[in-house]
Amino acid sequence: MAFPSEVTYNRIVMADTYCVPMSAAGVLAAGTITKINTGGNVENADPSDTDFAGITFNAAAAAGDPVAVVVKGKASAVADGPIAFGQLIKPGSGGRISRFFGTGYNLAAAAVGTATSFDNASLVAGPLTIAQAGDVEADRGREIILVGIEDVTGDLLIETIALDDVDSSDPVTGTEDFATLIGVYTATGTVLGAQAVTIHDGDAAPNLIATLAGAASQVGAEVPSELEAHSCLLDMTGPAADATFVTLVGYTTDDPDTLTAERVELDAATPSKPSVAMSRFRRVERICTGEFTDAETVAVATIADIAGENIVSQVQGSATRGNVVALLL
């Protein structure tokens, strides 16, 4: 990476980038937003931070390594999600830049409850088995994702089970112990062939827990109309006096590259008040409604970023996640 350029005309110093030499608190990538910690060293800023040091000009391999921090002028930063020319930014996951939103927006205006599509009352806790009603060549080996609640710990589960790759009607059993199933979808989002996929428990006389219909790609696992959450907090507003649950599946700023889930209890008041998810999501892949009252609707929306949570800059181009974009600080 080239050093900032500098030229002097008639004793006036003109530079396109102003850097401050700092010491890194740990490993830092080039092009990330930083803050100064209590020890006086720089580290990646979090999405909720309001005080920033600037953007790293170079990488640091370990704590104590010198790092130049751009505080004014031209800089390059790594995008955490889609961003376009002129948009304000804030820290995303790992100090990458994310888009700042002064107002909230809907990810889904009306996700529909599907509680009666899941017979969790009959589910005998343990591994679940999937099979297609009849062999479909195009569906052999197709991965099916099951979202639910673990038997002993009550933790959320996301398990991927592939249909048999020789005969998709042959049963395949997973390894996770489900106590509740709340969403099922094909891993690629591709619709099944004409034959449905059934999900049974491991009882001696297996109980049918859910059916993913033929020519469908999901049951109880709705795709949001807007996937990108831009490291925002999210809230959900359901019908009055409905304290059931909705589960978000996606990527959070705490674990940005691992598919995770968060279960949110809806508000029981009349009128209903928004229920807030604890995690900041950079992207939501699915809204699981297998515990949410059948046929009712819930709005899932981002919460507006707080004024001051943005770093003053002008994005000088467009980028998608992982790409570098020019900034003017």
Q: What is the pLDDT of residues 240-269, one digit of tens each?
A: 999 999 999 999 999 999 999 999 999 999
Q: Is residue 1 part of a domain?
A: no
Indicate if 215 and 123 belong to the same structural domain: yes
- Residues 295 and 231 both lie in one domain: yes
Do the beta carbons of residue 40 and residue 33 sit within 8 Å? no
Instruction: Determine, yes or no, domain membership for 231.
Output: yes
Tell me the C-alpha distance between 38 and 24, whole Å: 12
Co-location of 213 and 123 in the same domain: yes
With cut-offs at 50, 70 and 90, classify the pLDDT of residue 314.
confident
- Condensed to tens digits (0 to 9), the pLDDT of residues 44-103 reads 999 888 888 999 999 999 999 999 999 999 999 999 999 999 898 899 999 999 999 999
Beta bridge partner(s), residue 117: none
* CATH number of 95's domain: 2.40.300
Query: What does the pLDDT read at residue 1?
Result: 42
Assign 129 a pLDDT band (cuts: 50, 70, 90). very high
Instruction: Please tell me the distance from the alpha carbon of residue 153 to that of residue 130, in angstroms, as a whole number.
Output: 23
In the listed set 161, 196, 219, which residue is the last one of a domain according to the structure?
219
Same domain, 12 and 78: yes
Q: Share the mean pLDDT of the chain.
A: 93
Can you give the pLDDT at residue 134? 98
Report if residue 85 sits inside a domain. Answer: yes
Beta bridge partners, 12, equal 9
List the single range of 176-180, 184-188, 295-299, 306-310 with lowest mean pLDDT.
306-310
Q: Is residue 273 part of a domain?
A: yes
Q: pLDDT digit string (tens) for 12-52?
A: 555 688 999 999 999 999 999 999 999 999 999 998 888 88
pLDDT at 26 (0 to 100): 97
Q: What percent of the chain has pLDDT above 70?
A: 94
pTM of the entire predicted model: 0.92
Give yes or no for residue 3 having a pLDDT over 70.
no
Of the three residues 171, 191, 219, the one that is the final residue of a domain is 219
How confident is the model at residue 5, as a pLDDT? 55
**Domain residues for 265?**
106-113+222-302
- Does pLDDT of 318 surpass 90? yes
Residues pairing with 199 in the sheet: 130, 210
Please check whether residue 284 lies inside any domain of the structure: yes
Angle ∠(257,112,252) on CA atoms, nearest 5: 15
Whether 84 is in a domain gets the answer yes
| Same domain membership, residue 226 and residue 187 | no
Q: Are residues 14 and 90 in the same domain?
A: yes
How many structural domains are present in the chain? Answer: 3
